[in-house]
Amino acid sequence: MSFLPLPALVLHADWSMHPQRRWMTCAHRQKDGSYQVLAPIRVPQIPGFLSEIQSQVGDNHCALIGLDFSIGLPYDYARLIKVNNFYDFLLQLDQDPWVDFFNPCETPNQISLYRPFYPMRPGGTRQAYLLDALGLENIDSLRRTCEYATRFRKAASPIFWTMGAQQNGKATIAGWRDLLIPGLKAPNIRLKIWPFDGSLFSLFQPGQIITAEAYPAEYYSSLEIKFSPPTPARKTGKRSQADRAANADAFFRTADNLGARLDSELITLLRNGFGSFPTAEDAFDSTVGLFGLIAILRGKLSAKVPLSSEIMAVEGWILGQAV
């Protein structure tokens, strides 16, 4: 199999269950091999999102899309439901007994292997209810290997738990139900999902759209993104405009190292910390994610999956995650 040059279009979408909080940052490969990085914009309406990307790449180019929601199942859960391939699992979720899969449970007695997302809303909820109903002993059984704690971050929130600031269960529901499944079934969309469809660079074939799970927080360290220590007196981290703006020089250095040219509007946003509007942190993260994807394409971050083929086929992996 021959490989194409790097993708003509690279984008990272900072995802959410709320459409107004979905932002994406795009880069277009230039004739000299550099990438022109544009200012972040809101993700378009989902029904036409993949179709528009497909029309941009045509028959001769390909696109890489990073998405920050879970793409895969915890292996222990998959064994209980007798699933050995995540791809096949996605394509049967509109059939019995899965018709309620995407409806978060309101009460513990609604939780089952076929309806595992819980809870619908806060109030009297416990992760123990989820574990008991699914017949699992500890919360790590509901985490994929890539979601365990690493030296760079604490453990991720379990995929089926839908409460708390760190949860991404409801974003995952929206991502699978509204984006991935329709994209896989649409006859005019040539969608591939890394790593289930093969190694990353082998997927860069004419006319393909390649999606991959990609979390901006995984790239902070390698991109030299740093935040001031937490303090009760003011916001810090990505939620702080001042902290976001303080990382402008890190973005500029990274752009030089990766052969990326920054649009003038993006330069202004970086220096201004992406402004003070409520979703500025989402625009910031979509830009971090985009830089992370380019770093992977340039060989600065790994696209390898440190799992057996059996586990990988179920769990997937986070693109560029340090082991």
Residues 81-123 have pLDDT tens digits of 999 999 999 999 989 999 999 999 999 999 999 999 999 887 7
What mean pLDDT is predicted for residues 244-265? 97
CB 313 within 8 A of CB 88: no
Residues 112-124 have pLDDT tens digits of 999 999 998 877 7
pTM: 0.94
Please give the full DSSP string across 7-36, using - where no structure is assigned.
PSEEEEEE--SSGGG-EEEEEEE-TTS-EE
CB 39 within 8 A of CB 185: no
273 φψ region: left (φ > 0), alpha (ψ -120 to 50), beta (else): left
Q: Would you tell me the crossing angle of helices 248-258 and 264-271 to the nearest 10 degrees?
A: 140
Among 14-23, 130-139, 205-214, the least confident range: 14-23
For the beta carbon of residue 141, count every other beta carbon within 10 angstroms. 17
Residues 119-155 have pLDDT tens digits of 988 777 889 999 999 999 899 999 999 999 887 788 8
What is the Cα–Cα distance from 63 to 57, expressed in whole angstroms?
7
Residues 30-46 have pLDDT tens digits of 999 999 999 999 998 88
Among 16-25, 109-118, 205-214, the least confident range: 16-25
How distant, in Å, are the alpha carbons of 63, 88, 259, 293, 305 from that of 3?
Answer: 14, 26, 20, 18, 19
pLDDT above 70 covers a percentage of the chain that reads 98
Q: How many whole angstroms from its chain centre is CA 264?
A: 26
- The closest of 60, 61, 50 to 7, measured between CA atoms, is 61
The values of phi and psi at residue 178, to 5°, are: -100, -20
Q: How many whole angstroms from its chain centre is CA 100?
A: 24
For the beta carbon of residue 211, count every other beta carbon within 10 angstroms. 26
Whether 198 has a pLDDT exceeding 90, the answer reads yes
Among 16-20, 110-114, 162-166, 230-234, the least confident range: 230-234
- The closest of 118, 114, 161 to 141, measured between CA atoms, is 161
pLDDT of amino acid 210:
98
**Residue 45 structure tokens:** 């309406």
